[in-house]
Structure formats: C-alpha cells, structure tokens
Structure 1
C-alpha cells in the first residue's frame, strides 16, 4: 500500500502531535529535576544538581528503591515459574475447562487495578487473616505480572514445532531433559522478554500496592505519592520520577528487542540441533 505525499504528511503530523502530547509531560519532569526554582517557574531561570544530590542523600529514597527492586525481582521470579507452567499446560495439553482456565489466567491484567487491590486486600485481611506486608505485595504483583510471562511464552509455543519434543522423547530423553535441551532454548528469549516486562510492571505499580502494603513499608511509587505535595520534597520527587522513568524504559526496550521474530527463529534452529544430544 502506497500513500501519497499529502497523506504521509498528515499522518506524520498526527503522529508527532500524539507523541508530543504523551512525552512532553515526561520531558517537563526531566527538566524540572534540574530546575533551580523550587516552585518550578517556567521557563527555568537556572539549572542545578542540588536536587539530585539531595535525592541520593535521602535515606527514604534509597530504602524505597531497594524495596521496589526486591519486590520486582521476587514477583518476577514467581511470575516466570507460574507463567511458564501455565502456558505449557494450556498449549501442550487438552483437558476439560482449558479455555476457562486460559481466561482466568489473563483476567487479572484486564481488571482495573483498584478492583484487584480491593479483592486482594479482602482476601488477605478478611479470609486468610494475614497481616499486610511486603510478601502480600509480592503475591499481589505476581497475580498480574504472571500474565505478561504467560502471554509471551504461549505465543512462542504456538510458533514452535511440538514434534521436536516428540522426537526427543522418541530418542529416549526424559521429560526434564526434553524441556532443558529442546523446549527451553526455544522459550529463552520469550522468558527473558516476559520477565523484563513483569519487572517493569511490578517496579512502578502503585494502585494494587496501596491496598496490599503494610503500614510501615514503602515502595518507590508509594514514596513519590506521599511526598508529591510536600513543598520541601517536591524537587526531589522530580528526580526520583526521572529515575523511575529510566528504570522502567530499559527493560521494556530490551523486551521489545527480544520479542522480535528473528530471535525466535534463531532459538528454533538451536532447538532442532539439540534433539540428537537429548538422547
């Protein structure tokens, strides 16, 4: 399909305006992290690194970053295990209620965050009688982070040849050997992409975290929310927001690169070579 020059110009202009609308506020946050004016006057009368220094010296910020990283890593590991097992079960096996299970697995990421947060809060505090802590946050994050892993892995499984696994089994390889030498090489990039997306999703989650976190615990998004309207902390909040943007962008960019079809084709060829050694 070829577009005329006028159509290209119109589409280019619309795309540019949409991107400007989305990313101009983010650029403003970056600029204000260096703004010497505490009230963020515009245009900036000067630039300073003072707020960056205060952010790195803040004990609360450092503790919040460490907590968010820990929660994101643990919930990502749980999501990788559960998401992979579910995708293998739903793609490689047929059983009664498979489509229902598939819907229930994907549903948490489709529900509004506030609904998920309220439901999990009720489950922890009312049904299970478990006090809210960082572990309840991790479990809550894993419920929706698992979906990103599941979607990536099951999409890759649908493009891979199940006969490679059957051939490995015919050659005498056991279930674990077949998975390690045949299935896993084909899923490796999908697992890494799903894990990176799950990490990014968990690291900046705030709605579900608000309903499932303990009273004395703080993640980085929660710290930002608590200090956003404090005059003395407002400049530091901009710095923390920039750090959050960078940490969120990097795994998403890597996941996008890893999800390319060319990567899947490469791992598929490696998996085919692994069938003979599997015996």
Structure 2
C-alpha cells in the first residue's frame, strides 16, 4: 500500500467514525458502490484521478451515485474520492473497507469478527464449499445468496452482509482471504486486533481470559481472541496476531530438535 493510499484510508475512516446515522443500509450501499467501481475502470479511474480537482471528482460522485444512494453513503464516497490514491484499485479497496467498517459500526453488539472467523473455519473444513464460493466460473450473485442461506439464523445481519458482499466481489482473492480481511477490518473498527490461537485441546474460559490480557498488554491494544483446536500441536500454544507468530508448541520444538540432531 502506497503512502498516498495509507493517508486516504485514514481520512476516509475518520469520516466514517465521525458520521452519524450509519446503519446496515449504508454499509450495503457502500458495498454496492465498490462493486460498481470495480466493474467500471473508467469510473474508478475518474474518481481516483488526483490530477482532477476535488470539485470535479465530487461532481462525478453526485452524478453517478447521488440519486441512488443515501446522503450518508454518498458523502462517505465523496470524502473518499477527494483523497489521493496510489491507484484506482486502491480506491475500490478503500470503499470496500468503509463498507465493512460501516457494518461493524452499525452493529456494535454483534460479534462480527468472531462470526466471520467461525465461517472461515467452516469453509476451510469443506473443500466443496470453498470451491463453490471461490470458482471463477460461478455467478457472483448466486455465491452471495449461498452464503446468506448458510448463515441465516446462525450469524448476525451485519456478519451475513459482510460475508455475502465480499464473496460477491472476490477480485482474484481466495475466499478465506476475503473473510479474513473482513474479520480484521471489523475488529479494527472496534479498536481491536485479532489473535488466533492454536492448541491441542480446547482452552478454558479462564485460560482464554489470561491469554487475552497478556496479549493486550504485550501489543498495547485490545485483543479479539479466536481459538482453534489442532491435535498436531501436541502441547503448548501457537499464536498468530497481525504479522507475528508466537510459537510455543511442542510439535515445533520437536521439529527443531530433530533438525539439530540431523545437522
């Protein structure tokens, strides 16, 4: 991500944080706008063209989206378009990020990141489902409807919106990567970092609380903890948080020992 895009994302996120009246309808409209931009390189290029004036880009937003989007959604897109982006594709990513964050903001009591993680595990455990959702040959709308049917009654409306919308717009990304991105953004909107913990047996509530507190202290941030039971760990824990991996598993120590003995 270029520095221009980093600043553009920060400015767009700040606008979302300050916006009032953000509900799931706004999030849905932002997802639709991201799909429209992704489907029209000319439109995305026009809104991401830093050589054009802010006024000119705002007029394009008004002309294209003004009559079909709510004022809140249109204003957020106008703010995003007013920024400098390193590439037109970055603008599409930025609008999609706003949509995920808007869904998380609209449903403060829903465990969006936790439910997305759970669905990611379901996809990972079912190769046929992953193929159905990830195939380039399938209809994107049908894929979104499949996700909605699978999660109906099992996840919050916010989670269903995020998962189904991301699957509808894969843009050469794997399904699990899409869902993981949604999970990280939803957590970030709530000021949290996602940590995934792998253990040989299920962790008790007290163990999870202690681990969450320890990670929060180490990284100086709130932590959303996801747990995975993996018998191959044998013992100990493997923790992945952001780009860091803390590996205290017995299996890894045994592997390292074998390598030393072989060397």
Taking structure 2 as the reference length, what is the TM-score of the superposition?
0.25
Larger helix fraction of residues: 1
Larger strand fraction of residues: 2
Name the structure, 1 or 2, with higher relative contact order (CA <8 Å, separation 6+): 1
Larger radius of gyration: 1
